[in-house]
Structure 1
Amino acid sequence: MNDESRITLRLPADLHAWLVAQAKSSRRSLNSEIVYRLEVERDAAGADAESP
């Protein structure tokens, strides 16, 4: 089982609304949308770090 951490996150209202809309269009929960986007960014940053 994966270890998980719980956090409280404060977002500007417009960013929250945008994330909710993105999650709905992707048929994901808000939490899943945030995790998905963070993982995509992490993977992209890791790929950039490995490039010469």
Structure 2
Amino acid sequence: MAHEVRMTLRLPEDLRDRLRAHAKSERRSLNSELVYMLEVGLRAAGVDASPPGGDTAGSAPA
């Protein structure tokens, strides 16, 4: 990613624990797993056509 931002995310503790366990099973940090899951989800919803982890800096809105 070319530019990163920091944000606060509030979520239930049990969800955080499940996400953390899944990230560990995928050998990723919790942050990396969340970014990956969000990118995949957006792509599946047709919101974002860029590949997970891809740089969208070169794409301009139509």
TM above 0.5: yes
Unaligned 5+ segments in structure 1 are 48-52
Q: How far did 1:5 drift?
A: 1.0
Q: Is residue 1 of structure 2 the alignment partner of residue 30 of structure 1?
A: no
Supply the distance in 2 between the matched residues of 1:27 and 1:36 (Cα, whole angstroms). Answer: 12
Q: Secondary structure at the match of 2:46?
A: helix
- The Cα of 1:46 is off from its aligned counterpart by 1.1
**Number of residues of Structure 1 aligned to a counterpart in Structure 2:** 47
- Matching residue of 1:50: none
The residue matched to 1:7 in structure 2 has which SS? Answer: coil
SS at match of 2:45: helix
How many percent identity over aligned positions? 64
Q: Give the match for residue 45 of structure 2.
A: 45
TM-score (norm 2): 0.70
Q: Which AA in structure 1 matches 2:46?
A: G
Provide the C-alpha distance between the structure 2 equivalents of 1:26 and 1:4, rounded to a whole number of angstroms.
22
**CA apart distance, 1:29:** 0.1
- CA RMSD after TM alignment: 1.4
1:4 Cα deviation from its structure 2 partner:
1.0
For structure 2, the residue ranges without an aligned partner over 5 or more in a row are: 48-62
